[in-house]
Amino acid sequence: MAAELDLERALVIGVASSALFDLRESDAVFREQGEEKYREYQREHLDDVLAPGVAFPFIRRLLGLNDLSEEQRLVEVVILSRNDPETGMRVMRSVERHGLDITRAIFMQGRAPYRFMGPLCMSLFLSANEADVREAIDMGFAAGHVVGHAAEDDRGADLRIAFDFDGVLADDSAERVFQNRGLDKYQENESALADVPLDRGPMADFLEKINRIQRIEDSKSAGDPQGYRRRVHVAVVTARSAPAHERAINSIRQWGLRVNDAFFLGGLPKGPILEVLEPHIFFDDQRRHVEGASRSTPSVHIPFGEINRE
C-alpha cells in the first residue's frame, strides 16, 4: 500500500528540469536554432537519458528519505517546467531511467509554472533560470538559482544541507544594518537585540520540514541507540561572529527550529569550510559567496532582500 501524501505536512519541492538535469546542449539548440528545431531535437533524443544537473544528488537523497515512514510520504518533488508536455517527455523519461521517485509534473509552454507553488504547498523552487527564481521570490515564494556544475554522487543515502543565516533562514533586517551603518553599529545592534528573534526568512519553512524528518530519525535513534545511523545533517555557515552569533542561535531556537552545527566565520571565505563539510547543497543570499562555494559544492543563490535588488 502506497504511503499517504499530505501536502501540508510533507516537504514539497518544485524543481525545474534545468536544475535537475544538465540541459546545456538542448538549451543551445533552442537559443541558436529556435523552438521548432528544439522540438525536433527533443523528439530525436527522446530516449537519450539526460545527465545529472547541479541539484540531482540533493533531490535523489531527499526523495530517499521517504523510506523512513511507511504511513506517510515525507518528501514530494514536482517537476515545474516551461517546456510543453511533448518536449517534457524526455525529462520524465530521464527521471524514470535514473530511478527518481518523481511522478508529478507541471509543463507550461513558455510560461511560469511556479505560480502553482501555493496550491501545492511547496517550500522551495529550484531552477537554473535566474529570472524565474527572482520572479518567484518577488511573489513571496522561497526560490533558489542553482549555480555551478553537477557534483559527483557517491550514491549514498545521507543528506547534508548547509545554510547561510541572514537573508536565508532569517530575514535581511540585520544585514541591512550592516550594509547601511557598518560593522561596529551592526555588532552593537545585534548585541542589544541578542534575545530578540529575527523574523523568519525565505528558507525557514524548508528547514522546519527538514526538522520534522529529523524528529522521525530521533525516534528511530532512541529505539536503536547503538545501531541507527542518522542520515540528515544540517549546518549553518555564516559570516557572523561573536557577539552577533548569540542572536542567530536564539532566533533559531525561538522559531522552534534547530541545526546540528554552526560555523561563525566572521567574514572568512566559506568555500574552504564547505570543501571539508561536503554538503550536498548550500544556500546563500550573496552571489559572491555562492560563486566561491560552487567551485566545490552544489550551491544555490537565494536572491532575497535589499542586497539582491538591482
35, 48, 91 from 29: Cα distances, Å:
8, 16, 16
Whole-number pLDDT of residue 74: 97
Q: Are domains 11-147 and 159-308 of this chain identical in fold?
A: yes
HSE-CB at 17 with a 13 A cutoff on CA atoms is 27
Whole-angstrom distance, CA of residue 309 vs CA of residue 185: 23
- The DSSP output letter for 166 is B
**Quick count: other Cβ atoms within 10 Å of Cβ 39?**
16
User: What is the reported pLDDT for 183?
Assistant: 87
The pLDDT value recorded for residue 310 is 64
CA nearest neighbour of 93 among 151, 7, 17, 30: 17
How far from chain centre, in Å, is Cα 195? 28
- Does residue 243 have a cis peptide bond before it, meaning omega lies within 30 degrees of 0? yes
Q: In this structure, how many other beta carbons lie within 10 angstroms of the beta carbon of residue 151?
A: 19
Q: Please name which of 232, 233, 231, 236 lies closest in space to residue 201, comparing C-alpha atoms.
A: 236
CB 309 within 8 A of CB 188: no
Task: Give me the numbers of helices (H) and strands (E) for the chain, helices first please.
Answer: 12, 10
* CATH class of segment(s) 11-147: alpha beta
pLDDT in the model for residue 38: 80
**Number of Cα atoms under 13 Å in the Cβ half of residue 292:** 13
Which letter does DSSP use for residue 150 in this model?
A: P
Contact 260, 210 (CB under 8 A): no
E-strand spans in 192-265? 232-238, 261-264
pLDDT along the chain (310 residues), means of 10: 80 96 84 82 88 95 95 95 87 96 92 89 95 94 91 84 98 93 91 96 98 96 90 97 96 98 96 95 96 94 90
* Cell numbers describing residue 84: 510543453
Exactly one of 132, 164, 166, 284 is catalytic; name it: 164
Query: CA 103, CA 79: separation in Å to the nearest integer?
Result: 9
Q: What is the CATH number of domain 159-308?
A: 3.40.50.1000
Whether residue 218 lies in the annotated active site: no
pLDDT of residue 191: 94
Q: How far is CA 107 from CA 102, 130, 168, in A?
A: 14, 18, 28
Q: So where are the chain's domains?
A: 11-147, 159-308
